Amino acid sequence: MSRTLLTRCSIVGITCLLPLSVLARPKAPVAEAAVEQGKFILHKFAQPIGLETWQITRQPGGYQLTDKFEFKDRGTPVPLTMKFAYDKTGTPQSFNIKGKNSRLSEIDQKVLVNANTVRVQVDGADRTLEKPKAFFPIAGYAPTAQQLMLMRYWINHGKPAALRTLPSGTVQIAKRGQDRFTLDGKPVLLDRYLVTGLIWGRETIWLDQSNNLVALVSIDAEFDHFESVREGFQSLLPSFLSKAGEDEMASMKEFAGKASSDPSKTLALVGGTLIDATGKPAIPDSVVVIANHRIVAAGPRAQVAIPDGATRVDTTGKTIMPGLWDMHAHFEQVEWGPIYLAAGVTTVRDCGNEFEFITAVRDELAKGNGIGPQLLPAGLVDGTGEKSLGVQRVDSDADAQKWVRKYHDAGFRQMKVYSSMTRENVASVARYAHQLGMSVTGHIPSTMGLVEGVEAGMDQVNHIVYLYDAMQAEGKSPMSKGLRKIKLEDLKSFSVASPEAQKTIEFMKAHHIVVDPTMALWEVVTRNWPSTPIASFEPGVSKLPPELSVSFAPPAEEKAEDKEKMELAFQRMLEIVGALHKAGIDIVAGTDQAIPGHSIYRELELYVKAGFTPLEALQSATSVPARVMGMDKETGTIEAGKRADIIILDANPLEEIKNIRSVDKVIANGVMYDAAPLWKSVGFKP
């Protein structure tokens, strides 16, 4: 002890020497060894983007699950921590979750269980309620380990038909079957479950024979694809995605049979005003005959014979027009199918998805399984970078050839390039796509401008912000790098009449470029403030289920300068859309999701605000997209021989474009549905 600091103490009169360090430092508690632990690999669009680590330890009276969940989404960290305590019978004692559950949203929730009550705190708001007989604390899709605990709780409590969750909600869990996989040459048997009520829509979960969670296919808080796979099972992810798509579509079959007409019977729509979208005047007192999924005849009642035995649908006082197209969709859940049909959308272009999921869903719909529109997926590719999306990487000419061929052979009509591509690789994608008769759409990658993207071979452009950037004078702040980074003085000085803007318009026209501006999305982004919430311009937001509507709450704070800048940015976007349309450039209606089902209506309303006639706005969602996708001989107008995609409205949108919101019935590929039950089937108000 020659160099140890000492102190004197007296214990019942005996002097002793102890190291000062022992007196100064209390004895550290011995860490409890984990009784169970694990790791999940976190994915977005099938791309591994993060890691979840968890462990269960003993504590007085029971156990505690501690979880660290973190991923990086296109350069933005999304960290989340959680602690969950429960007693030896599995009864919850406390739950504490804090952090971010997407790039755009934060979460701070606590549940404390007492003898007869439960105290719940959500983002600082505190309430106490009577303790339910059975309940489980959980806060959405993350973390995965808490979904594991939910499944075990449900199994141990007799697999109830419904289980209350706190802070809010009710979940339903159903076993759907067993799946056999091969992993490292060995057979693996997993039980497949469908979970509803935890997020908006369905999740698919696989448990092994010991009730350990192996995989979760869900969505995150941005409603993007999210998957979590237990370490060691990553190679099975494509199989999980494909199976989830097939099974979730199959789960909707029963409802589909109840909601639809018999497509084998001839239908006659009699008495309505017909807008055929060809550009001809509307036809009052019309007849449209449908048989074998096709339009047999359409025109004035006096000129169209109604076949004997046809089922007559009285459309007197109503308006008949082609089904709508949404040219910027992301069909990431099967629930989008009923939503699109309820809204009158009978064809969607999916602008980026997981290959296995979207092909499974598309094929099930084509076979008549489930409910949904005609799906036209675009093959997503991106380059390697911090903000890459998906797993389809194109970093060379060989990569481009491989992915274009794979998408083409799977029946895709179009490629979509994303933000991390180089000019050379965009050119390679475009060259191979054009050789195979495919077109190319997408973002303008961050390494180039609009002119370079078009010169590299892009045929179409997603989002109006890239047009604003191209129309600005050199040195001005761009929109595509973030709306909040734009300088107010640059917005004030912008004009679509400027030489730069006019040069861009002429360039677009000369190259026959098609634009889907996604104006309804940008309106939500720029105009959602406490003084002007979304409901002030988009009434559909009030019809969303609670799990969705919470995502559209305005920010807590409203700064006058920020609001002025955002609203002026949106006004400039409208001016650009109007100028493009006036110049004869094709504009196609697309929503990029935004307010599900309703933003397609707002998109058309905004086009009229930008200078379209009501008919031109309707054509941007019917005949124009059919033409630019090379399908105008098959669909897009109401003419004999074409696919029977039709909507019946309670009011005429040529009189007021807002009447497009009055969808009563939809006919998709000859099958007729009432809109109201479709809305209700996914938790929306009609």
Asked whether the predicted pLDDT for residue 117 surpasses 70, the reply is yes
Using pLDDT thresholds of 50, 70 and 90, give the confidence band for residue 596.
very high
What is the reported pLDDT for 551?
80
Q: Residue 484's pLDDT is what?
A: 85
Number of domains in the chain: 2
Last residue in a domain, options 232, 251, 270: 251
- What is the pTM assigned to this prediction? 0.89
pLDDT (average), residues 478-502: 94
Residue 26 lies in a domain: no
Q: What is the pLDDT of residue 22?
A: 29
Residue 370 binned pLDDT confidence (cut-offs 50, 70, 90): confident
Res 577 pLDDT > 50? yes
Q: Which residues pair with 36 in a beta bridge?
A: 56
pLDDT (tens digit, 9 = 90+) per residue, 284-296?
999 999 999 999 9
Average pLDDT, the chain: 92
Name the more confident of 10 and 686.
686
Tell me, yes or no, whether 46 lies in a domain. Answer: yes
- Helix (H/G/I), strand (E/B), else coil: 494: coil
The Cα–Cα gap between 446 and 379 comes to 19
Confidence of residue 272 (pLDDT cuts 50, 70, 90): very high
Domain end (from 556, 578, 609)? 609
For residue 530, what pLDDT band results from cuts at 50, 70 and 90?
very high
pLDDT of residue 291: 96
Express each pLDDT in 516-528 by its tens digit: 999 999 999 999 9
Backbone angles phi, psi at 254, to 5 degrees: -60, -45
Neighbouring-strand partners of residue 290: 267, 295
* Predicted pLDDT of residue 380: 97
In a domain, 494, yes or no: yes
The confidence score (pLDDT) of residue 217 equals 97
Q: Which two three-digit tokens encode residue 81?
A: 């921590």
Answer whether residue 408 is part of any domain. Answer: no
- In order of 86, 150, 153, 400, 680, the CA distances from 156 in angstroms are 14, 10, 5, 50, 32
563 belongs to a structural domain: yes
Lowest mean pLDDT among 68-82, 247-261, 422-436: 247-261
Share of the chain above pLDDT 70, in %: 94
pLDDT given for residue 259 in this prediction: 64
Q: Say whether pLDDT at 105 is over 90.
A: no
What is the reported pLDDT for 19?
Answer: 28
> What's the pLDDT score for residue 224?
86
SS (H, E, C) 208-257: CCCCCEEEEEEECCCCCEEEEEECCCHHHHHHHHHHHHHHHHHCCHHHHH
Task: Judge contact between 367 and 52, C-beta under 8 A.
Answer: no
Q: With respect to residue 469, please indicate whether it lies within any of the assigned structural domains.
A: yes
Binned at pLDDT 50, 70 and 90, residue 254 comes out as low
pLDDT at 25 over 50: no
Per-residue confidence band for 26, with pLDDT thresholds at 50, 70 and 90 = very low
Q: Examine residue 207 and state whether it is found in any structural domain, yes or no.
A: yes
Would you say residue 163 lies in a domain? yes
User: Pick from 219, 251, 283: which residue ends a domain?
Assistant: 251
E strands present in 29-124: 34-44, 47-59, 62-73, 76-87, 92-100, 106-113, 117-122
Residue 601 belongs to what domain range? 463-609
Residue 257: per-residue pLDDT:
56
Q: Which of 595, 678, 686 is nearest to 334 (CA)?
A: 678
Q: Is 205 helix (H, G, I), strand (E, B) or coil?
A: strand
- Higher local confidence (pLDDT), 191 or 257: 191
In contact, 527 and 606? CB cutoff 8 Å: no
